Amino acid sequence: MWRYKSVLPDGTPVSLGEGWTPMLRSRRHPHAYLKEEGANPTGSFKARGMAMAVTMARHYGLKKLAAPSAGNAAGALAAYAAAAGIEAHIFMPKDVPFANYLEAVLYGANVTLVDGLISDCGRIVAERKDKEGWFDVSTLKEPFRVEGKKTMGYELVEQLGWGYPEAVFYPTGGGVGLIGMWKAFAEMEELGWVKPGKRPRMIAVQSAGCAPVVKAFEQHAKVSEMWKDAATFAAGLRVPKPYGDYIMMEILQESGGVAVAIPDEQILASLKDWAQNEGVFLCPEGAAATAAYDHLLSTSYLKPEDRVVLFNTGSGLKYTDITAEAAGIQRPG
């Protein structure tokens, strides 16, 4: 992602090879492109934000970072902190995908599993950070993760030949990627890097088991309400009250986009569909995006000839326990 260094905050990169991920054309939908973020270090797009945040943390001489995480941000923070020689203190729900727990522990982070959701983890970090001397790298509470994630916007435009798609499907939890990409589009227009034209419709995709952004969008509200009893196997979408909800609402409106909630059964069906017909093992969050694409084709919101980008935000291989359980698959014997 450091090919975009000239538009990124100035620090010596702590890099593990993040960014410039494949843009795969669907075999069945010639105008649909899958942005394969599972190809990043630590197997998810969270690498981009954490590479940038840890780069700047090292630049400013910070020694102890802390974050709540739905799972993948934990693995990414732990890896980049290890590479930078910085302490990482991580709080995650106790039922995160096992891979997220394992990687964070192996990278040497201090990991606490919490009986609650990411919002509870965030509260613990906020309560303890001053006493412990931690710098809080929670989503949108520091300025740099969004800068790393904005490179997804630069990249998709460059990979499409410096042009916008009609729509971008983004599995939305905290919404940092959505916010970052929208910022990237504005910057590219200002720099003259993209031909002026209609910006993509931004499609925020959530699980029906935790859809605060969709509810707020449907009610034309400016902010979301805390979603009760959030439950979905798409672990990264289990964010009951995103901190940057009001920014997302503005982007959805300005882009002429929508917010869509997909039931977990449809997410699983799309995950199997892409595995069997495209050869791609999506993460559940990515499968929410592919399912949302099918849904918006069926309602004629989009036409098959509209060029779209679907974000597979992580590798399906990080979710073997959770996806096996959802699909009822066990090793024989």
Considering only residues 41, 93, 97, 174, which one is a binding residue for ligand PLP as defined by CB under 6 A? 174
- Contact between 176 and ligand PLP per CB under 6 A: yes
- Contact between 326 and ligand PLP per CB under 6 A: no
Return the residues of window 30-49 that contact ligand PLP according to CB under 6 A: 44, 46
Least spacing, CB of residue 75 vs ligand PLP, in Å? 9
- Contact between 177 and ligand PLP per CB under 6 A: yes
- Contact between 151 and ligand PLP per CB under 6 A: no
Least spacing, CB of residue 131 vs ligand PLP, in Å? 27
Q: Under a CB-based contact definition with an 8 Å cutoff, are residues 176 and 118 in contact?
A: no
Is the CB of 315 or the CB of 333 nearer to ligand PLP? 315
Considering only residues 313, 316, 323, 326, which one is a binding residue for ligand PLP as defined by CB under 6 A? 313
Least spacing, CB of residue 178 vs ligand PLP, in Å? 7
Q: How far apart are CA 251 and CA 242, in angstroms?
A: 14
- Which residue's Cβ lies closest to ligand PLP? 236
Considering only residues 314, 322, 323, 326, which one is a binding residue for ligand PLP as defined by CB under 6 A? 314
Least spacing, CB of residue 207 vs ligand PLP, in Å? 11
* 70-77-320 Cα angle (round to 5): 50
Least spacing, CB of residue 82 vs ligand PLP, in Å? 19
Report the Cα 68 to chain-centroid distance in Å. Answer: 14
- Contact between 200 and ligand PLP per CB under 6 A: no
- Which among 248, 239, 264, 170 has a CA at the least distance from the CA of 216? 248
* Residue 27: how many other CB atoms lie within 10 Å: 12
- Contact between 74 and ligand PLP per CB under 6 A: no
Residue 277 identity = N
Return the residues of window 293-312 that contact ligand PLP according to CB under 6 A: none
Q: Under a CB-based contact definition with an 8 Å cutoff, are residues 224 and 250 in contact?
A: no
Q: How large is the angle between the packed helices 151-159 and 176-191, nearest 10 degrees?
A: 60
Return the residues of window 82-121 that contact ligand PLP according to CB under 6 A: none
Find the part of the chain contacting ligand PLP (CB under 6 A) among 52-60, 174-182, 188-196, 270-278.
174-182
Q: Please give the DSSP secondary-structure letter assigned to residue 141.
A: T
Q: How far apart are CA 217 and CA 249, in angstroms?
A: 7
The per-residue b/e assignment along 282-313, b for 16 or more CB within 10 angstroms, e otherwise, is bbbbbbbbbbbbebbbeeebbeeebbbbbbbb
Least spacing, CB of residue 13 vs ligand PLP, in Å? 21
Residue 128 makes CB contacts below 8 A (sequence gap 6+) with 66, 134
Is the CB of 70 or the CB of 258 nearer to ligand PLP? 70
Least spacing, CB of residue 259 vs ligand PLP, in Å? 12
Q: How far apart are CA 89 and CA 129, in angstroms?
A: 10
Return the residues of window 249-288 that contact ligand PLP according to CB under 6 A: 283, 285
# binding residues, ligand PLP (CB under 6 A): 19
- Contact between 244 and ligand PLP per CB under 6 A: no
Helix and strand numbers (H, E) in the chain are 12, 10
Task: State which H helix or E strand residue 126 sits in.
Answer: helix 118-132
- Contact between 202 and ligand PLP per CB under 6 A: no
What are the residues binding ligand PLP (CB under 6 A)? Answer: 44, 46, 70-73, 139, 171-177, 236, 283, 285, 313-314
